Amino acid sequence: MPERDANASARIGLLTGGGDCPGLNAVIRAVVRRGLAEGYSFVGFQYGWAGVLENKAVELSSQSTVGILPRGGTILGTSRTNPYAGGKDGTAVVRQTLEQRGVDALIPIGGEDTLGVALRLREAGIPVVGVPKTIDNDLGGTDVTFGFQTAVQIVTDAIDRLHTTAESHNRVMVVEVMGRHAGWIATHAGIAGGADAILVPERPFDIEEVVAHLRRRHARGRSFSIVVVAEGAAPREGTLATRAGTETDAFGHPRLGGIGVTLEGEIERRTGFETRVTILGHVQRGGTPVAFDRVLATRFGVAAMDAVAGGRFGMMVRDRGAVLRLGERCGRWSSTESGSRFARRTDPSPRPVPASC
Ligand code: F6P
């Protein structure tokens, strides 16, 4: 890092990497507002690590963060660019850009890939504090990520709508949702929307069990069914042929999707019930964050800025609930002032932990 005048205010770099997610702007706003009050200045790298590698950035100020709290997407843009793709080592280029821009510390906001890069940079001596994000809610070290609740609400609303049309037409509706290799979105939205079957990547399904369940339901007089399937769900080995895509991103992740189409055909063929598929796709990542995600994102932003100010680098902010001994605090009245999980004064949650993903 560059030698700086001891009186000069420290400069923080921010970036958003990976898939976008409702709440990213709320983090940016929280970091900038918290830091400006403490005399820091900010630069935002554009399109994730691409902006760092290509030295493309914008100044972040109080003015440039006005009105962004409820906005979906990210004002900085994002990408799945990987400075270490194909065995390359982008550390030197990253270091050069940070020096040229006078950046003292970096706050990358991203999922396992973006934070994996952050960890490598930290190991190379670059001061970073990570902020976890993903609609998939599949990051270790934190109980919840912002964007997840918004995605769950979007899917739940869609299931509610599909119920009325399914009922009118006596159809089976298959709803394919995102989540990569985790079934969080499918499970939460499936439960909230009253789905009749929920298929997740964690438990390979047997198509015959699924159709037997639907047949039993319809034999009981039900004329329609809703099946929620996560994009990463797969049949039990040898039970059903699926088409696997070959496309991968810069981090080597396969592009998922299509299991819903397979199920649509198989359910209709095996049961004789008219079946339709809805692939919700990127609509799950779009639009304004729900209130929960705005609050969580704001807490993460404040905690990240505080970690930087405290020199606690190589950390990732998190939200982690804990099991309490009966009588310790549970069963007692809790307010925003009394140190609940959502508003600690002396022990601000989320707490920074080593960025280890
Ligand atoms: O990780 C978020 C996510 O939306 C996954 O649920 C999905 O598999 C993937 O990103 C889609 O990525 P892309 O926007 O690159 O198509």
pLDDT digits (tens, 9 = 90+) for 205-224: 999 999 999 999 999 999 99
Tell me the CA–centroid distance for residue 136 and ligand 1, in Å: 9
Amino acid present at 164:
T
Cβ–Cβ < 8 Å for 108, 15: yes
- % of the chain exceeding 70 in pLDDT: 89
Residue 73 region, left (φ>0) first, then alpha (ψ -120 to 50), else beta? Answer: left
C-beta of 179 in contact with ligand 1 (< 6 A): yes
Token pair, residue 100, equals 């040229």
C-beta of 133 in contact with ligand 1 (< 6 A): no
C-beta of 298 in contact with ligand 1 (< 6 A): no
Q: Which stretches does DSSP call E strand in the chain?
A: 11-16, 41-45, 57-60, 105-110, 129-132, 172-177, 197-199, 225-230, 275-279, 315-317, 352-354
Could you tell which of 180, 185, 248, 259 is best to mutate to test the pocket of ligand 1, judged by most ligand atoms within 8 Å of the CB? 180
**What is the structure's pLDDT at 300?**
96
Measured from the Cα of 135, ligand 1's closest atom is: 2
Residue 241 pLDDT exceeds 90 = no
**What is the structure's pLDDT at 342?**
42
Q: What is the pLDDT of residues 161-199, one digit of tens each?
A: 999 999 999 999 999 999 999 999 999 999 999 999 999
d(CA 265, CA 186): 20
Catalytic entry in 20, 104, 113, 136: 136
Token pair, residue 50, equals 């691409």
Residue 340 pLDDT exceeds 70 = no
Could you give the 3-state DSSP secondary structure of residue 50?
helix
For the packed helices 291-309 and 24-37, what is the interaxial angle rounded to 10 degrees? 40
C-beta of 201 in contact with ligand 1 (< 6 A): no
Tell me the CA–centroid distance for residue 91 and ligand 1, in Å: 26
Token pair, residue 178, equals 């995102």
Cβ–Cβ < 8 Å for 114, 17: yes
Tokens 């034999």 sit on residue: 219
**Closest residue CA from atom 14 of ligand 1:** 19
| pLDDT interval class at 323 (50, 70, 90) | confident
Q: What is the pLDDT of residues 124-165, one digit of tens each?
A: 999 999 999 999 999 999 999 999 999 999 999 999 999 999
**What is the structure's pLDDT at 329?**
64
Section 299-324 average pLDDT: 91
Nearest CA among 123, 126, 129, 116 for reference residue 94 = 126
**What is the structure's pLDDT at 271?**
97
How many other CB atoms are there within 10 angstroms of residue 313's CB atom? 17
Query: 337 or 121: whose pLDDT is higher?
Result: 121
Section 229-234 average pLDDT: 97
**Closest residue CA from atom 10 of ligand 1:** 19
For 283-333, the DSSP string reads: GGG-SPPPHHHHHHHHHHHHHHHHHHHTT--SEEE--------TTTSTTS-
**What is the structure's pLDDT at 343?**
42
Amino acid present at 136:
D
Could you give the 3-state DSSP secondary structure of residue 218?
helix
Cβ–Cβ < 8 Å for 225, 190: no
The mean pLDDT of the chain is: 91
Mean pLDDT check: name the lowest of 99-103, 256-260, 322-326.
Answer: 322-326
Token pair, residue 116, equals 């994996």
Is 136 among the residues known to form the active site? yes
**What is the structure's pLDDT at 238?**
87
Section 73-90 average pLDDT: 96
Tell me the CA–centroid distance for residue 39 and ligand 1, in Å: 37
Tell me the CA–centroid distance for residue 318 and ligand 1, in Å: 22
d(CA 313, CA 308): 7
Residue 281 DSSP symbol: G
Mean pLDDT check: name the lowest of 85-89, 171-175, 292-296, 324-328.
Answer: 324-328
**What is the structure's pLDDT at 354?**
54
- % of the chain exceeding 90 in pLDDT: 80
| pLDDT interval class at 350 (50, 70, 90) | low
Count how many residues are written for the chain: 357
